[in-house]
C-alpha cells in the first residue's frame, strides 16, 4: 500500500516542496520530490505503527476531536493500512440459541430475562454448513458461529460438533469465526487444529462499568480467554457495545484496553445497543449515529491494522450514516438479515449500498483450507 501511495505521488511529478522544519525555505527541482516523498513515507510509517501504550487521556482527546478532523485523521490511517474501497462481509449464525446461564443485561438470550427468545438446541452440522454455503453464495467471506454458552462443556459431543462445523466452513473456502464463551487451553488448541480463523470474545465496555452489565463472569475472565486465543495463534475478534448507559470515558477506556493488547485484535466489532424488551436495558435511549462514527474513527486510529466491524444497531442507521462509518474506517459488516437474534439490513440493501458507494466485498484471507473447492 505504501509503495502504491509513493508511486502515485511520484507520478504527479511534483517539483516544489516546502521544508517545514525551516518554514521559509522552499526546495525546487528534483530534490523537492525526494524531500516530499521522504516526508510522505515517514508520515505513513508513523500512522500505520501499532502502539500498545495508549493512555486514556490521549484516546479521549482523539475521540473528542471535531468530527471532521477525526474523520480526516482516521481516513488517513485507513488509506495506509487497509485495502481501499473494500468491506469485509461476515455472516453470523446462532448455532445454539437462548437459555444462556450468563446475565449480560443487553442480551435477549440470557435465561435470567423474559424476552420471548425460544431456546434451541445446537444445530445439526449439515444445517450449519448449508447456511455457510448460502452465505458464501450471497458474497460473505467470513462465517461466524455463535453459541449461547458460558463456555463449551469439556469433552462434550456438542463441542466435537462445533469442531466439525469449523472444519466444514474452512473446507468451503470461508474464514471461520466462533463465539462460544470462555475457553480453556485444550478447547482453544482443538479449535486451532480444526482451522478456526478467529474467535470472538467482546469486552463489551470498560473494566469499571463492566459490573453494571454482567455479574456472572469478570473482566479478567474475558481477558484470559482473549489471551489464550491469541497465544494459540487464532485471530482475536474483540470489541464492545455503546449505548448501555456508560460514559464516554468508559467507551474510550475499552478502546484503550483493546489497543494495548498484544497483539491488537484482528477485528473490532463496534456495536450500538439494540434494546430488547424484557432485558434490563430495554429502556435505554438509542445512541446517536455520530457517536458510532466517533467510535469507528477512534478505533481505526488506535488499531490501524484491525478490521473495524460495524455490527449491531446497523439496521437503524441511514445509508448516509453507514457511509460515514466507512469513511471513519469501518470496513467490515455483518451481512444477512439477522444477527444472533436481532434484526440487520438484508443482503439486497447491503449489496445496493456497496454498489452505490462504489465499494466491493473483501476476499477471504488465504488459509490452509481456503483454496478447497466447494
Catalytic residues: 100, 104, 107, 144, 177, 237, 309
Which of 81, 102, 210, 292 is close enough to bind ligand SF4 by CB under 6 A?
102
Residue span 139-178 as binding mask against ligand SF4, x where in contact by CB under 6 A, dash where not = ---------x------------------------------
Which of 89, 90, 104, 177 is close enough to bind ligand SF4 by CB under 6 A?
104
Q: Is beta strand 198-200 parallel, antiparallel or unpaired with respect to 175-179?
A: parallel
107 touches ligand SF4 by CB under 6 A: yes
344 touches ligand SF4 by CB under 6 A: no
14-28: burial string, b at 16+ Cβ within 10 Å, e else:
eeebeeeeeeeeebe
Of the pair 117, 234, the CB lying nearest ligand SF4 is at 117
Helix, strand or coil for residue 84? coil
275 touches ligand SF4 by CB under 6 A: no
Of the pair 160, 342, the CB lying nearest ligand SF4 is at 342
- Which run of H or of E encompasses 45? helix 30-48
User: Which grid cell is 211?
Assistant: 459490573
Which of 88, 91, 109, 206 is close enough to bind ligand SF4 by CB under 6 A?
109
CB of 97 to ligand SF4, least distance (A): 9
Between CA 151 and CA 164 the distance in angstroms is 17
Instruction: Point out which span in 102-110, 120-128, 188-196, 269-277 binds ligand SF4 (CB under 6 A).
Output: 102-110
Of the pair 102, 175, the CB lying nearest ligand SF4 is at 102
Q: Is beta strand 330-334 parallel, antiparallel or unpaired with respect to 307-310?
A: parallel
Contact 167, 195 (CB under 8 A): yes
Of the pair 181, 345, the CB lying nearest ligand SF4 is at 181
Q: Could you write out the three-class secondary structure of 99-159?
A: CECCCCCCCCCECCCCCCCCCCCCCCHHHHHHHHHHHHHHCCCEEEEEECCCCCCCCCHHH
Q: Which of 182, 133, 129 is nearest to 159 (CA)?
A: 182
Which of 110, 205, 298, 332 is close enough to bind ligand SF4 by CB under 6 A?
110
* Number of residues near ligand SF4 (by CB under 6 A): 8
CB of 218 to ligand SF4, least distance (A): 13
CB of 110 to ligand SF4, least distance (A): 4
Contact 295, 270 (CB under 8 A): yes
Q: Which single residue is written with the C-alpha cell 489471551?
A: 227
What is the distance, to the nearest Å, from the Cα of residue 106 to the centroid of all Cα atoms in its chain?
Answer: 19
CB of 148 to ligand SF4, least distance (A): 4
350 touches ligand SF4 by CB under 6 A: no
Instruction: Point out which span in 30-38, 104-112, 128-136, 365-373 binds ligand SF4 (CB under 6 A).
Output: 104-112
Q: Is beta strand 235-237 parallel, antiparallel or unpaired with respect to 198-200?
A: parallel
CB of 271 to ligand SF4, least distance (A): 11
Between CA 348 and CA 132 the distance in angstroms is 18
Which of 74, 93, 100, 306 is close enough to bind ligand SF4 by CB under 6 A?
100
DSSP 316: G
Of the pair 74, 128, the CB lying nearest ligand SF4 is at 128
Site residues for ligand SF4 per CB under 6 A: 100, 102, 104, 107, 109-110, 148, 181
Amino acid at each position: 500500500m505504501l509503495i502504491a501511495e509513493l508511486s502515485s505521488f511520484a507520478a504527479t511529478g511534483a517539483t516544489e516542496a516546502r521544508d517545514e522544519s525551516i518554514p521559509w525555505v522552499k526546495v525546487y527541482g528534483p530534490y523537492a520530490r525526494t524531500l516530499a516523498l521522504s516526508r510522505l513515507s515517514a508520515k505513513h510509517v508513523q500512522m500505520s505503527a501499532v502502539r500498545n501504550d495508549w493512555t486514556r487521556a490521549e484516546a479521549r482527546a482523539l475521540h473528542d476531536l471535531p468530527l471532521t478532523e477525526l474523520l480526516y485523521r482516521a481516513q488517513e490511517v485507513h488509506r495506509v493500512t487497509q485495502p481501499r474501497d473494500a468491506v469485509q462481509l461476515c455472516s453470523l449464525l446462532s448455532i445454539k440459541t437462548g437459555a444462556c446461564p450468563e446475565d449480560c443485561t443487553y442480551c435477549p438470550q440470557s435465561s435470567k430475562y423474559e424476552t420471548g427468545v425460544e431456546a434451541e438446541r445446537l444445530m445439526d452440522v449439515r444445517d450449519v454448513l448449508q447456511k455457510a454455503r448460502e452465505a458464501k453464495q450471497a458474497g460473505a467471506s467470513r462465517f461466524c458461529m455463535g453459541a449461547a454458552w458460558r463456555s463449551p462443556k469439556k469433552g462434550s459431543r456438542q463441542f466435537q460438533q462445533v469442531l466439525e462445523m469449523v472444519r466444514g466452513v474452512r473446507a468451503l473456502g470461508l474464514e471461520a469465526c466462533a463465539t462460544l464463551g470462555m475457553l480453556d487451553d485444550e478447547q482453544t488448541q482443538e479449535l486451532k487444529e480444526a482451522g478456526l480463523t478467529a474467535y470472538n470474545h467482546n469486552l463489551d465496555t470498560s473494566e469499571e462499568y463492566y459490573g453494571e452489565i454482567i455479574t456472572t463472569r469478570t473482566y479478567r475472565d474475558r481477558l484470559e480467554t482473549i489471551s489464550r486465543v491469541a497465544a494459540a495463534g487464532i485471530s482475536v475478534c474483540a470489541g464492545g457495545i455503546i449505548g448501555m448507559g456508560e460514559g464516554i470515558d468508559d467507551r474510550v477506556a475499552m478502546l484503550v484496553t483493546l489497543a494495548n493488547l498484544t497483539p491488537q485484535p484482528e477485528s473490532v466489532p463496534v456495536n450500538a445497543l439494540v434494546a430488547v424488551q424484557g432485558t434490563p436495558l430495554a429502556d435505554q435511549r438509542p445512541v446517536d449515529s455520530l457517536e458510532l462514527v466517533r467510535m469507528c474513527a477512534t478505533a481505526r486510529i488506535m488499531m490501524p491494522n484491525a478490521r473495524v466491524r460495524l455490527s449491531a444497531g446497523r439496521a437503524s442507521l441511514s445509508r448516509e450514516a453507514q457511509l460515514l462509518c466507512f469513511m471513519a474506517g469501518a470496513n467490515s459488516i455483518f451481512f444477512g438479515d439477522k444477527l444472533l437474534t436481532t434484526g440487520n439490513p438484508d443482503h439486497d440493501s447491503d449489496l445496493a449500498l456497496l454498489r452505490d458507494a462504489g465499494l466491493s466485498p473483501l476476499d477471504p484471507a488465504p488459509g490452509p483450507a481456503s483454496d478447497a473447492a466447494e
